[in-house]
Structure 1
Amino acid sequence: MECKVLVYVVLLPFIKHVSSSDIQAGPNTNTTLPCNVTFPVSEIGNKTDTSLIDAKWRSNGSAIASFKEAASRINEGFSWDTTEFINGVFSLTILKTSINLQGVYECTVSYNSSIVNSSNVTFSILAPPTLSVPQQWVVLERASHLTCHIDNFYPSPVSYSWTRDGVEVRPFHQVEGELNPEGYYSAVTNLTIFPSREDQNATFGCKVSHRGNLQQLDFKLNITYSPSVRMSVVPTSSKNSALTLYCDVENFYPEEVSVSWFQNYTKLAEDSLTEQNPDGTYRTRRYYTLSPEQRAQRGKVQCAVSQPGDEIPVNVSGDLDELDPQDESPVLTKSAKASVAMMCISIVLIFLLCFGFSWRRRDEKKKSLNVSGIILPPRVIVGQKGRVSVSIEGRRVDRVQTVWLLNDTPITDTSLTGTSKANFNCLYNPLTTIHLPYGLTLTSPASEKGHLLPSRGEMGYYKLHTQGPLHSSRSGPHQLISSLTFIPQISLHKGAVFKCQVSYMGKDKIVEEKVSEKFTILSAPEVSEIQLAETIHDSDVISMTVRASHFHPDVITFRWFCQGGELSPVASQASSSPRPNSEGFFSAFSQCKLPRSELEKGATRVWVSVHHIALKQPVTRETRGFIKRPRVSDITSTFSSLDQTSTLGCEITDFYPANISVTWLKLWEGEHDDREEEVLEGGEVWGPIETHPRCYRATAILNRRPTNQEKNDKRGGIICRVEHCSLPDPVEKHWRNAEIVAPSIPKSISVCWSNEGVGVFSLLLKGGHPKVKVLWSSGGSTLLPLVSSETEEIGDDGQRELRSVCALERSTSLPQQNNRQEQGSRRNGHTIDTKAAVTDPDAEGIQYIDEKAEGKTLDRDEDASLSDVEEDSDGEREDDPSALHINRVNITNGPRDPERARLRVCVEITHPALKMPVYRTWIEPNEEISSL
């Protein structure tokens, strides 16, 4: 005991006290409170005795954990590592932090009944807020209130502001918030606006600042356009029959509208038909027929229109006494009847006189036409047939012809699918319909109710429809409806307009031309499932990604939700302008992150809704659980001499979910590339077996007996292909039949120079599998790659022989001069035959290089003609497989130092059997430089 006290006295001056500190953590996390003491070893070699250590943790007057005489006690919800006490670490870990665990924690450590350390740690919760903006409708140019919910933050207060397209419209304002039952704070902020048409595509944002952290939730408004309402009646000949009322509702948005009818404040039934205007708003006409009994009741009739987001309906009312007067016509006397008869006779005489003057203009009146505007379909969707039409009224519509154009290009009929010559010619005639007398028209025999046809060429799919002439009366005008069916394509119809030219048969003059409004082409997005993956730098955080593709226009919204409310995405391509692909369609993605612990519980439901103008209802995708990518090992092989079978194995570990697919494929290695063969039988998967919660492993095994051909073929192999839902592409592991063998490499490079300064360098490599790779380079102080030629043959001993040859010409001029000399040498140079160049230096190859044109000297004229011929044949020499390329190397030190450096030629040899590349170098001797 006295010895222990002495050791304590010796160690006491070296003990360090831990100062007080503040610790902040988020809710439901594991947080460690530090408490460290250093126990240095004394000079006599004694170590710290744990039986003399007395450690305690207290908070708010209550004991949490204690350690005395090697016995430990700790409350539920806390943990510490007693094995680290010998190292002076007494840290306390709070499991699943919460607000009621906040406070000051005191750590006291005693050694041999004397306090050696006392430190305080103040622990507090820091919870960032979650933002949500309820989806709501606002009314155009009417006071509307936007609401932003700021929930589950701690401590209080927070500051908030509102933005529009990134510009602050309300400065930051601080709010304390209200305490909810869970102990966290919540607040609600409002913004009053008067929406305008410019706010339709504007992005509003709710920005919140909490303890230095800034969050922002962006959203767009759904604006309601209030309609103009007008009520009328359809005149009737009888006062005792039913009366039809109609109510015109115009220039409203969105399409969803409710029209109700009331008579004397009693609601009546309704019917609906809605059409879209060129500016994107809608119009509708609602009818209601009063029965004779209802008509006789008289009173007040009301038409009320309700829209989403508008609490006050727009209504119009009228009194039946004013809309449908019931005054009886007075009874005429005999004298009054006589006066009326004389008046009628006078009117008839005047009419006969006027008719004579108007007889000459009868034909011109018959020729007058009334052409309506081009009516576009309410929704133009890619791949779905749409129709544009015009209505033509007049007395001579039976002699009218119409021509349709896209912008200024006449449209070609591509609806015919026949292969006859007649049908083939129809494909290239302008889309013109001639209406013959007696109601006959020339129409296409193709059926419009068939399947969608693919677009042909650059014009697309078009088909003409006609209806009429329709006779409204024997003497009145006739009506003709000409329409065009087309399949929208973004590349053709984006920003385009349709034109319809109306003229008479046999006349070149265009009576009237109508031009349509520009229309928006819609394409609904294709939404992928939510992909879950581990974050690269933090495996405890799971990223969730959803992708939308093939949509148009580019405005798209992703909204993430969980059971607790709306989530904020961490990355989104939808906030910026996505770029279209070659076909004009857009793609975007959105990403959200959650802790792994939330997803591994299996109870957290996360979903995302995708909003687009082409969708009548948002597309929703929901998580299907946690996903983890598998790790695939290399293939190992064993061979059994008893039954002559081989077994290949591949380990697949750390994946989730358990569904996994393994395929074994035979591979034949050719001279230039590899090609897969048939799927091999005999493969099986052992497992999957669960190694950890939501983590599996499996083993892929292939048992097979190799054929004699496979035993002799040393170049083939086998592929193990693993597919899993977490993998965008399958993982493949390769196994080769033959072992990797290094080639035989000579110790030096063979070189030979010609009298014209052309050097031929060669290297012969024997054996090796697979094929070796060779790279030549040369220069002075620095090296540049060269063009070489390789030939492969089988030697007498049956081994592969690879001969690599490289030819170069020395150049000591500057780069600009070198270009001129290259042109000259290209005219006066010689062709080097590959076979001659790679032979032994003492053989005929070098003689061939030095050989002149039979020893003759060419004069200037012959030299010029020969140069022209050689210039014309330069392209042919490049295509000659037996020609060896001559590399020209500049070996000067630079423009400022024209003195030539020593020439170096280096070859790099790489092979899978070599751990590092092998180099062979040739350096020009000093005596050769001095002699030049």
Structure 2
Amino acid sequence: MQCKVLVCVVLLHLINNVCSAVIQARLNTNVSLPCNVTLKLDEVDENLVEVDWVSNNGTSVASFKNATEQIKDGFFWTTDHFLIGDFSVNILSVGLSMQGVYECTVYYDSRKLHAGNVTLSVIASPFVSVPQQWIVLGAESQLECHADGFYPPPVSFTWTRDGQVIHSTNSLDGEKTPDGLYRAAVNLTYYPSKEDQNVTFGCKVNHNGKNQELNFLLNITYTPTVRLSAIRSPSSNSPLTLSCHVESFYPEELTISWLQNGTFLPDPPISEQNPDGTFGTTRYFTLNHEQRKKGGEVECAVSQPGVVQSARVSAYVEELDPQDVAPVLTKSAKASVALMCISLVLVFLLCFGFSWRRRDEKQKSLAVSGIILPPRIVVGQKGRVSVCIEGRRVDRVQTAWFLNDTPISDTSLTGTSSANFNCLYNPLTTIHLPYGLTLTSPAPEKGPLLPSRGEMGYYKLHSQGPLHSTGSGAQQLIASLTFIPQISIHKGAVFKCQVSYAGKDKIVMERSSERFTVLSAPEVSEIQLAETPNDPEVISMTVRASHFHPDVITFRWFCQGGELSPVASQASTSPRPNSEGFFTASSQCKLPRTELEQGGTKVWVSVHHIALKQPVTRETRGFIKQPRVSDISSTTSTSDQMLTLGCEVTDFYPPDITVTWLKVRGGERDDSEDEVMDGGELWGPMEIHPRLYRITATLKTAHNREKRQRGGGIKCRVEHLSLQEPIERLWRNVDIVAPSIPSSISVCWSSEGVGVFSLLLKGGHPKVKLLWTAGGTTLSPLESSETEEIGDDGQRELKSVCALERSTHEPSRNDKRRNRHGIKTKAAVTDPDTEGIAYIDEKVEVENNNNEKYEETKLSDVEEGSDEDDDDDYDERGINSGALYINRVNLTKGSRESERARLRVLVELTHPALKIPVYRSWTEPNEENSSM
């Protein structure tokens, strides 16, 4: 201060604050330590003012003497305020080390005016988290609640269930962390039941008289019941199919492993939901000849999330597949058996001598395995189902495949040659099958599969064999079907295979598969950050998963130090599928703004789905705020006739932003865009607030007023990291002109009681919008027809026509049929006068007399939704595109039985040049009403 300031006149007076002040401040915030003195003097000499701020350890924080100031880093004051007696000092970003007592002493001309102290204490609220974990139904479980980063201690915890307190703890000091803050955690021993499913639990932390609460849902695991069995086969040399039945488990995600003598055998997960909400599944595994011969112990192990010990069941192959043991006979017994066998053989030979046909059919006996499904059936990826056929005459076997009882044909071939049929002479390559199918030898599919076409999708038939499997002449044939899964076709579907002999209609064997689940991995978006509308200090983080199947999906949120609980999650309930059968879900989590703006908190989310081999993870990319975009303003320079457009973009973060200027050409309905390469400039980004930026986008272009009437305009497109879709602002390069509107509505009636109302509008830009309504006491919207032409005076003319028929009863089924057709003439639209109406009457009369039967047939076809070629002339309402639609207006009766409400017709016109809509109306006269 280089001058002396006159503050008051009178004398120097002092009011000392002898009591100490106590100030509480939150961690990392700014705080002011007050020191105020009331001065009354005629003039103040800054050379005589002396101020000292000293901390409790004797360290000088700030001092002012001989017009010279010294202040410690992290502290600041305003020396200009000394003249009004304000000697307060401010602390930037309060830390724990700054706590204590601060003493302020003020001298003037070596006289002590004030001495006081201020006690500063720091408060840090805890961050509450409950790590999500799977708990087992009916088993002892531990829930843990964390309170991190609080000061000073202590804190207390309270557990709630559905808003009711279930457990409370005493005050805990917790553990001190290296940064000087404290953390504490408590455990809750809980035995979950089925009633705890979808019930809200909460952990409430009380600190310094304030509560911090976190609500969450329990993930409960239902342990399954496991049974192991085998599907018997007629031969010990054929593969052995085992089944592992897993029932009454939850959630659907589980892992089932097959082990033989301690060695893992992989198997795919497929499950079905039971009526009680649990799931059930059956796992099959076919042991080949070597594995079956090896024998030993076979074990089925079921693992679930949150369960430490897997559910296991084991059995020995010898017990599941007992083999006949040759008995030990004595010599005399062997002789007796041999004699009996010879006798039996003679008898059998005598019997079978008269049944050659039966013996031949017996030789044709077949052993057919169950349908083997692929481990994973994923949308867009090929899958193969197969069946193994064993017998002596498999070279003459034919197979037919079905999907939900619908025959399957080979759609992978572009054409079918006649040489593919009746080729029984070469059974190893091609076998003629019924229903138009062919069974061919396997061919490698090195190239990509053909895209699906038709309602049944893509299918390709294969066969392998016949192969000799035993020395007795038995052969094997493996028939398989390759397909591309689709949700709409294969969801919950069942494959069926029918086995018969070529040339025979009798079905020897039929096998059906289990219902399988079609998988589709989710497409996961990046985490979108946005301010909460009701609380700008809280930032919501949202992630979206789409195009997945089935609908069970799990979102798990994490941050540094623990797991977060999602809020307003749409993944907790089953989402609805879209038109293609895929599901979409989103999850949201919230954090305080300060946690994200400091840049030290990392948040990520992992998405778990049965179609994913590994969870999909998305991480935050820092604090994001969406920009605000103003309307486009324009100015014209009189000197160079240049048009300057400007657009303000404010309040966005991060500062990276893209602004593109586009020239809009063409009409109003279908504009085309060309990017403007020159003339665009960005002024900024400029920081207006911490982590908030602003830019100004301008565009200079030549101003040609003669072209302004041609339509089009210029568009400003803003793209930013926080926006899923760009923000666009349009500046129209046209003048807005109001149209010429008639003072009344024109109307004419036909002999059948059909009225045609019309309105002719001239000029105006852009196009005016019309809404026709009619009724009695209340009005209902009507269908109308508009045509545009250029009049004789060169102005654009818009003709709007609306036809209606009066009725005093509710519309019947025949009335609804009639409304689906219009008057097939253009005269009513282009020239709605009396002659046009007479022509309409004549047309209707001719159609009624000559085409009554045709019209009834056509109406029936419309009701049944026929797909004839002439349907293209009708729109989505079933109205002929060249006809005038007839609206049916239902008028209720009045207070008297003979009276009917008067018909009113009202049309509303809206246009940008009109501040309020303009209305034109027509009311049925009393004379006409009485005559009806």
What is the TM-score of this pair, normalised by structure 2?
0.64
Deviation at 1:589, TM superposition (A): 0.4
2:500 counterpart residue number: 503
Residue aligned with 1:722, SS: strand
1:551, 1:82 → 2: CA distance?
Answer: 65
- The aligned counterpart of 2:467 is 470
1:913 aligns to what SS in structure 2? Answer: coil
Distance in 2 of aligned mates of 1:928 and 1:414 = 68
The residue that corresponds to 2:765 in the other structure is 769
CA contact (8 A) 1:779 1:889 kept: yes
Shift of 1:561: 1.2
Distance 1:799 1:174, change over 3 A: same
Question: What secondary structure does 2:457 align onto?
Answer: coil
Alignment-derived partner of residue 608 in structure 1: 605
Shift of the alpha carbon at 1:218? 3.1
Structure 2 CA distance for partners of 1:408 and 1:908, relative to 1, 3 Å: closer
Aligned counterpart for 2:203 among listed residues 200, 203, 208:
208
Question: What is the CA–CA distance in structure 1 between the aligned matches of 2:638 and 2:524, rounded to whole Å?
Answer: 55
**CA-CA distance at 1:636 after TM superposition:** 3.8
1:900 CA drift (Å): 11
**Pair 883,146 (structure 1): closer, same or farther in 2 beyond 3 Å:** closer
The answer to which of 274-283 and 96-105 deviates more is 96-105
Q: Say which SS state the counterpart of residue 711 (structure 1) adopts.
A: helix
Give 5+ residue unaligned stretches, structure 1: 40-48, 108-112, 231-247, 262-269, 290-300, 319-338, 839-844, 854-861
> In structure 1, how many angstroms separate the alpha carbons of the residues matched to 2:771 and 2:299?
88
Q: Deviations over 1:617-642 (max 9, x none)?
A: 11101112232323333334455677
Match of 1:678 in 2: 674
Q: Please report how far the alpha carbon of residue 609 of structure 1 lies from its aligned counterpart in structure 2 after TM superposition.
A: 0.6
- 2:581 pairs with 1:584: yes
2:715 is matched with which residue? 719
Assess if the C-alpha contact under 8 Å between 1:160 and 1:206 holds in 2.
no
Counterparts of 1:248-647 in structure 2, within 5 Å, are 255=255, 273-276=265-268, 310=308, 355-359=345-349, 360=352, 363=360, 366-416=363-413, 418-419=414-415, 441=431, 443-444=439-440, 448-639=445-636, 646-647=643-644
Q: Distance in 2 between matches of 1:380 and 1:930?
A: 73
Shift, 1:590, TM fit? 0.7
User: SS state of the match for residue 585, structure 2?
Assistant: strand
Encode CA deviations 1:522-559: one digit per residue, 9 max, x unaligned: 22111111112222233333221110111112111111
What is the identity, as a one-letter code, of the residue corresponding to 1:722? V
User: Structure 1 residues 362 and 27, CA, compared in 2 at 3 Å: closer, same or farther?
Assistant: farther
8 Å CA contact 2:302, 2:311 repeated in 1: yes
Per the alignment, residue 184 of structure 2 pairs with: 186
Query: Retained in 1: the 8 A contact 2:258–2:298?
Result: no
**1:204, 1:220 within 8 Å by CA — same for their partners in 2?**
no
The 1:368/1:65 distance shift into structure 2, 3 A limit, reads: same
State how far apart, in whole Å, the 1-side matches of 2:800 and 2:535 are: 50
How far off its partner does 1:676 sit? 0.9
**Change beyond 3 A, Cα 1:470–1:75:** same
- 1:174 has 2:172 as partner: no
Separation in structure 1 between the aligned mates of residue 23 and residue 257 of structure 2, nearest angstrom: 57
Question: Where do 1:98-247 residues align within 5 Å?
Answer: 126-127=125-126, 129-133=128-132, 145-152=141-148, 158-159=156-157, 161=159, 171-174=166-169, 176-177=171-172, 179-182=174-177, 183-191=181-189, 207-211=202-206, 214-220=213-219
CA 340–622 in structure 1, closer or farther in 2 if over 3 Å, else same: same
Aligned to 2:912: 912
Partners of 2:313 and 2:780 lie apart in 1 by: 86
**1:689 corresponding residue in structure 2:** 685
Encode CA deviations 1:760-801: one digit per residue, 9 max, x unaligned. Answer: 999876654334456677899987778888776666765556
CA offsets 1:816-848 (integer angstroms, 9 cap, x no match): 6999xx99xx9xx9x99879999xxxxxx7xx5
Work out the CA distance in 2 between the residues paired with 1:71 and 1:625.
43
User: Do the aligned partners of residues 779 and 419 (structure 1) sit closer, same or farther apart at CA in structure 2, a change above 3 Å counting?
Assistant: closer
Structure 2 counterpart of 1:514, one-letter code: R
Cα distance change on mapping 1:699 and 1:470 into 2, 3 Å? same
Is the 1:56–1:63 contact (alpha carbons within 8 Å) kept by the matching residues of 2?
A: no
Give the distance between the partners of 2:476 and 2:81, measured in 1 at CA: 97
Distance 1:481 1:31, change over 3 A: farther
Deviations 1:722-761 (A, max 9, x none): 3333222222222233333345678x65989999999999
| Cα separation, 2, equivalents of 1:156 and 1:493 | 59
Could you tell me how far 1:574 is from its partner in structure 2?
Answer: 0.5
- Report how far residue 663 of structure 1 moved: 3.6
Which amino acid is 1:184 matched to?
A: Y
Partner Cα separation in structure 1 for residue 475 and residue 851 of structure 2: 78
Q: Partners of 1:605 and 1:585 in 2: how far apart?
A: 31
Cα contact 2:663–2:714 (8 A) shared by 1: yes
Question: Cα distance, 1:607 vs. partner?
Answer: 0.9
Measured in 2, the distance between the counterparts of 1:889 and 1:88 equals 84
Q: Which amino acid is 1:172 matched to?
A: H
Structure 1: which amino acid aligns with 2:461? Answer: L
Separation of aligned partners in 1, 2:134 and 2:886 = 75
- Compared with structure 1, are the counterparts of its residues 158 and 257 closer, same or farther at alpha carbon in structure 2 (3 Å cutoff)? farther
Residue by residue over 1:141-183, the C-alpha shift from the partner in whole angstroms, topping out at 9 and shown as x without a partner, is 9x664442423286655455587xx899x94343544511144
The change in CA–CA distance for 1:114 and 1:642 in structure 2 (over 3 A counts) is closer
1:296 aligns with: none
- How far off is 1:475 after superposition? 1.9
The answer (yes or no) to whether the contact 1:225–1:254 under 8 Å persists in 2 is no
Q: How far has the Cα of 1:457 moved from its partner?
A: 2.4
Alpha-carbon distance in structure 1 between the residues aligned to 2:394 and 2:774: 86
Structure 2 distance, partners of 1:498, 1:120, is 80
Distance 1:422 1:626, change over 3 A: farther
Aligned equivalents of 1:435 and 1:879: distance in 2? 60
629-638 or 494-503: bigger deviation: 629-638
Query: 1:509 deviation in Å?
Result: 2.8
Pair 1:777–1:83, CA change in 2 (3 A): farther
Report % sequence identity: 50
Change beyond 3 A, Cα 1:439–1:396: farther
Alignment: residue pair count = 800
Pick closer, same or farther for the CA change 1:205–1:371 going to 2, 3 Å: farther
Partners of 1:68 and 1:915 lie apart in 2 by: 66
SS at match of 2:372: coil
Once the two structures are overlaid, the 10-residue window that deviates more, 656-665 or 895-904, is 895-904
SS at match of 1:546: strand
Structure 2 residue identity aligned to 1:129: V
User: How far apart in 2 are the matches of 1:489 and 1:705?
Assistant: 55
SS class of match (2:586): strand
Separation of aligned partners in 2, 1:342 and 1:529? 85
Contact between 1:58 and 1:65, CA under 8 Å: does it hold in 2?
yes
RMSD across aligned C-alpha pairs, in angstroms? 7.0
Structure-2 change in CA distance of 1:836 and 1:726 (3 Å): closer
Query: Using a 3 Å threshold, how does the CA distance of structure 1 residues 229 and 713 change in structure 2: closer, same or farther?
Result: closer
Deviations 1:160-213 (A, max 9, x none): 5587xx899x94343544511144342231546699xx99x9679763233466
Describe the SS at the equivalent of 1:187.
Answer: strand
Contact 1:534 1:541 in 2 (8 A): yes
1:204-244 deviations in whole A, cap 9, x for unaligned? 976323346642333536788899999xxxxxxxxxxxxxx
What CA distance in whole angstroms lies between the structure 1 residues aligned with 2:770 and 2:298? 92
**Aligned pair in 2 of structure 1 residues 506, 619: CA closer, same or farther (>3 Å)?**
same
Structure 1 counterpart SS, 2:395: helix
The answer on whether the counterparts of 1:638 and 1:648 sit within 8 Å (CA) in structure 2 is yes
